[in-house]
A and B are shown apart, each in its own frame.
Chain A
Amino acid sequence: MSGNTSGDTSGNTSGNIRLLSDTLARAKSEDRAALIAYLPAGFPTVDGGIEAIKAVLDGGADIVEVGLPHSDPVLDGPVIQTADDIALRGGVRIADVMRTVREAHAATGKPVLVMTYWNPIDRYGVARFTAELAEAGGAGCILPDLPVQESATWREHARKHGLATVFVVAPSSRDARLAEITAAGSGFVYAASLMGVTGTRESVGTQARDLVRRTRATAAGRGLPVCVGLGVSDAEQAAEVAGFADGVIVGSAFVKRLLDSGGQEAGVAAVRALAGELAAGVRKR
């Protein structure tokens, strides 16, 4: 059984990279930061996850990242590890991730990205994955363990299918490296606010502002937006980050609300409410 056959049956259906760029541009024109939410597919169930993601978008998120759960999420803290584990034990498959993208986008018209580790895509087949994601209405991918120097094949397929390649930059990234990344990336740049894995934090690191400034300097010619994630969990932190970034990315705080809720209905209400609070936060810069 080979997972590497191309299976590229959807021709050149274009993904929604344009919608992603337009959404970020509109937020900028409204003098605010965009709110980008993250939730894994298949958590707590495939249908339950779709409902929660729709609620987050309805509640005020501009963009959503759908996580494709991985058995070895080395960049995730305990909260997202737990959610991934629940999703995988529930048997989530890549077809379920695609359905999640499709339904979230179809219901809201908003840009939907996929965030995952490289091996699932490598194994599934890059051509097949990008074709299916574009066909499902996806806008692009964030692949935090695929550094720019290993990304040529991915980028070729993503470009062909109209999908953004969102690279992560870190406080440890040197300026020359930032220039390489902003030259290769598309959609936006994901600036990690601190050195560490995903998870909620008491405060947003002071390194974030400096990283955004340095990244913008290298991306100047391209106008690539710089969005900040890792550790942002409430409206106050969102407002703080919105003061210097083009977008605010929140993941673990949403996942935690679902984990802590008594059931599906309460969980959906809780993430919708959080999206609303954060949406107010990003408008308070």
Chain B
Amino acid sequence: MPSQYFVPDPEGRVPDAAGYFGDFGGTFIPEALVAAVDEVVVEYDKAKSDPAFAAELDDLLVHYTGRPSALTEVPRFAGHAGGARVFLKREDLNHTGSHKINNVLGQALLTRRMGKTRVIAETGAGQHGVATATACALFGLDCTIYMGEIDTERQALNVARMRMLGAEVVPVKSGSRTLKDAINEAFRDWVANVDRTHYLFGTVAGPHPFPAMVRDFHRVIGVEARRQILERTGRLPDAAVACVGGGSNAIGLFHAFVPDGGVRLVGCEPAGHGLETGEHAATLTAGEPGVLHGSRSYVLQDDEGQITEPYSISAGLDYPGIGPEHAYLKDSGRGEYRAVTDDAAMRALRLLSRTEGIIPAIESAHALAGALELGRELGEEGLILVSLSGRGDKDMDTAARYFGLYDAGGGAATDGSVEADAAGGTAEIEGDAT
């Protein structure tokens, strides 16, 4: 029986054998890692066509992760989106609370096949770190997670979760002390310990084969959602919307829809304090082609190729790079990418919480804000599919400070009214922030 949930790209048009998606991708790595990365290429290729691998991964995805994930229609939320119908693909309901577990279980099985006993990973929001620590506990692997020091502070709950699961969490103090620097430090560890260590990369970036392999492990998101929305509505959506940091949940959602020309693929990048302020992490909107962390893609950089420090309220999107397949989708015109500010994302977070009883991760809230905009553009006939990539528990401290939800001295309060989006003006819920 073909696997239901491990559904790698059946067409395999991109990347090519050298790992290129058009002009983007490739393998820009130190020589010390070439043998290890080659081994991942070979082992993944073997695993992909091994029914035993697919069967074991399928079993985990069903009985451990809880796939398939639900597709939830959110009419009260959609009332603020110009009357369009909105469905959420509920990756937040997976075990560990985000889409990240899809990729992690696949690579953990691969780690075991390669005979390696130690796993390292980077994490921004901590969701990939938690998923990795979880899989390592499950498989009995040693686990070290690198996390920018700023992120260990704003995502303290996830640090505690990883340590509870038995992982070592290393706060990274170099550079901007966020996701980019966590990846730098993980690469340094990998170079020194590659014999027994697999770098369980958490997004669709990095050297070949990671962009294609991580995409394949997440493809199930779009494959399920496509089937579910057809069953529920009898048609394909007008747009599939996802947040993009490195871009893993977005590629996972988009990929099954790439051949469906009528489905717009809309990635929502973090505009932080606003593109004009320079304080953002909107790599495809404001970056230029370059090489970072092993592949060619768009990069936030200055005119001499120094990587510039990104900013987003969302730790998981606070990254100056982007997976090469997104660069390819952008340049080919198949994908469209728009930037969503911190404020718009936070408004969408609160709106979904109060209209539907679902608290999304701040990352996913960027996609929700994008969906609100799109809904107004599409009007009442619109049908929008959104990847709800993670749940918001980890973000409650940030949200409480942002909205002034703590009783006293908890941080800057904002006013109590909830606006879906000031520009649209269609939606306003009166509410007391406390």
Using a CB–CB cutoff of 8 Å, the interface residues on chain A facing chain B are 1, 3, 70-75, 77, 81, 88, 93-94, 118-124, 144-147, 149-150, 167-174, 177, 181, 192, 195-197
Whether B34 sits at the interface, judged by CB under 8 Å, is yes
Q: For the complex, what is the distance from the CA of A196 to the CA of B174, rounded to whole Å? A: 18
Residue of A3, A93, A181 with most partner-chain B CB within 10 A: A3
Give the secondary structure class of B's interface.
mixed
A-B contact pairs, 19 of them (CB 8 A): A3-B304, A75-B188, A75-B191, A88-B306, A94-B304, A119-B299, A123-B304, A124-B305, A147-B29, A150-B27, A168-B32, A170-B31, A172-B194, A173-B35, A174-B35, A181-B31, A195-B194, A196-B32, A197-B188
Whether B30 sits at the interface, judged by CB under 8 Å, is yes
Whether B15 sits at the interface, judged by CB under 8 Å, is no
* Binary A-proximity of B189-210 (CB < 8 A = 1, otherwise 0): 0011111000000000000000
Q: Is the CB of A197 within 8 A of B192?
A: yes
Q: Is the CB of B305 within 8 A of A3?
A: yes
Query: Which residues of chain A are within 8 angstroms of B292 by Cβ–Cβ distance?
Result: 72, 119
Give the secondary structure class of A's interface.
loop
Q: For the complex, what is the distance from the CA of A177 to the CA of B191, rounded to whole Å? A: 17
Q: Is the CB of A146 within 8 A of B34?
A: no
Q: Is the CB of A120 within 8 A of B306?
A: yes
Min C-beta distance of B312 to chain A, whole Å: 18
Min C-beta distance of A150 to chain B, whole Å: 6
Min C-beta distance of A48 to chain B, whole Å: 21
Q: For the complex, what is the distance from the CA of A73 to the CA of B301, rounded to whole Å? A: 15
**Do A145 and B290 form a contact, CB below 8 Å, given A71-B306, A72-B180, A195-B194?**
no
Query: Which residues of chain B are within 8 angstroms of A197 by Cβ–Cβ distance?
Result: 188, 191-192
Q: Which residue of B lies closest to A144 (CB)?
A: B30
3 smallest beta-carbon distances between A and B, as pairs: A123-B305, A120-B305, A170-B32
The one of B30, B293, B306 in contact with A70, judged by C-beta atoms closer than 8 angstroms, is B306
Q: Is the CB of A119 within 8 A of B290?
A: yes
Whether B18 sits at the interface, judged by CB under 8 Å, is yes
**Do A122 and B305 form a contact, CB below 8 Å, given A72-B180, A74-B184, A75-B191?**
yes
Q: For the complex, what is the distance from the CA of A120 to the CA of B307, rounded to whole Å? A: 9
Query: Which residues of chain A are within 8 angstroms of B288 by Cβ–Cβ distance?
Result: 3, 123
Q: Is the CB of A177 within 8 A of B34?
A: yes
Which B residues from 285 to 307 make CB contacts under 8 A with A? 288, 290-293, 299, 301, 303-307
Q: Which residue of B lies closest to A194 (CB)?
A: B192
Q: For the complex, what is the distance from the CA of A98 to the CA of B422, rounded to whole Å? A: 51
Residue of A71, A122, A124, A196 with most partner-chain B CB within 10 A: A71
Whether B126 sits at the interface, judged by CB under 8 Å, is no
Q: Is the CB of A145 within 8 A of B29?
A: yes
Q: Is the CB of A123 within 8 A of B188?
A: no
**Do A93 and B175 form a contact, CB below 8 Å, given A119-B290, A195-B191?**
no
Query: Which residues of chain B are within 8 angstroms of A144 by Cβ–Cβ distance?
Result: 30-31
* Binary A-proximity of B21-33 (CB < 8 A = 1, otherwise 0): 0000011111111
The one of A71, A145, A169, A174 in contact with B175, judged by C-beta atoms closer than 8 angstroms, is A71
Query: Which residues of chain A are within 8 angstroms of B29 by Cβ–Cβ distance?
Result: 145, 147
Q: For the complex, what is the distance from the CA of A167 to the CA of B18, rounded to whole Å? A: 20
The one of B31, B191, B290 in contact with A122, judged by C-beta atoms closer than 8 angstroms, is B290
Query: Which residues of chain B are within 8 angstroms of A170 by Cβ–Cβ distance?
Result: 30-32, 34
The one of B28, B299, B305 in contact with A145, judged by C-beta atoms closer than 8 angstroms, is B28
Q: For the complex, what is the distance from the CA of A71 to the CA of B293, rounded to whole Å? A: 12
Query: Which residues of chain A are within 8 angstroms of B184 by Cβ–Cβ distance?
Result: 72-74
Q: Which residue of B lies closest to A146 (CB)?
A: B28
Query: Which residues of chain A are within 8 angstroms of B175 by Cβ–Cβ distance?
Result: 71-72
Q: Which residue of A lies closest to B296 (CB)?
A: A122
Q: Is the CB of B290 within 8 A of A123?
A: yes
Q: For the complex, what is the distance from the CA of A170 to the CA of B34, rounded to whole Å? A: 9
Q: For the complex, what is the distance from the CA of A174 to the CA of B18, rounded to whole Å? A: 19
Whether B36 sits at the interface, judged by CB under 8 Å, is yes
Q: For the complex, what is the distance from the CA of A172 to the CA of B31, rounded to whole Å? A: 8
Whether B6 sits at the interface, judged by CB under 8 Å, is no
The one of A1, A74, A121 in contact with B187, judged by C-beta atoms closer than 8 angstroms, is A74
Query: Which residues of chain B are within 8 angstroms of A195 by Cβ–Cβ distance?
Result: 32, 191-195
Query: Which residues of chain A are within 8 angstroms of B36 by Cβ–Cβ distance?
Result: 172
Q: For the complex, what is the distance from the CA of A144 to the CA of B194, rounded to whole Å? A: 17
Query: Which residues of chain B are within 8 angstroms of A167 by Cβ–Cβ distance?
Result: 31
Q: Which residue of A lies closest to B193 (CB)?
A: A195
Q: Is the CB of A192 within 8 A of B31?
A: yes
A72-B184, A72-B293, A172-B35 known, 15 other contacts, Cβ within 8 Å:
A3-B288, A71-B175, A73-B184, A74-B184, A74-B188, A119-B290, A119-B301, A123-B290, A168-B31, A170-B31, A172-B194, A174-B35, A195-B194, A196-B191, A197-B192
Query: Which residues of chain B are within 8 angstroms of A71 by Cβ–Cβ distance?
Result: 175, 306-308
Min C-beta distance of B184 to chain A, whole Å: 5
Residue of A81, A94, A144, A196 with most partner-chain B CB within 10 A: A196
Q: Is the CB of A93 within 8 A of B304?
A: yes
Q: Is the CB of B26 within 8 A of A172?
A: no
Query: Which residues of chain B are within 8 angstroms of A73 by Cβ–Cβ distance?
Result: 184
The one of A3, A93, A196 in contact with B192, judged by C-beta atoms closer than 8 angstroms, is A196
Query: Which residues of chain A are within 8 angstroms of B26 by Cβ–Cβ distance?
Result: 150
Q: Which residue of B lies closest to A173 (CB)?
A: B31
Query: Which residues of chain B are within 8 angstroms of A147 by Cβ–Cβ distance?
Result: 27-31, 34
Q: For the complex, what is the distance from the CA of A15 to the CA of B28, rounded to whole Å? A: 26
Min C-beta distance of A2 to chain B, whole Å: 9
Q: For the complex, what is the distance from the CA of A172 to the CA of B290, rounded to whole Å? A: 27
Query: Which residues of chain A are within 8 angstroms of B35 by Cβ–Cβ distance?
Result: 172-174, 177
Query: Which residues of chain B are within 8 angstroms of A93 by Cβ–Cβ distance?
Result: 304
Q: For the complex, what is the distance from the CA of A168 to the CA of B293, rounded to whole Å? A: 18
Query: Which residues of chain B are within 8 angstroms of A173 by Cβ–Cβ distance?
Result: 31, 34-35
Which B residues from 25 to 81 make CB contacts under 8 A with A? 26-36
Q: Is the CB of B291 within 8 A of A119?
A: yes
Which B residues from 301 to 333 make CB contacts under 8 A with A? 301, 303-308
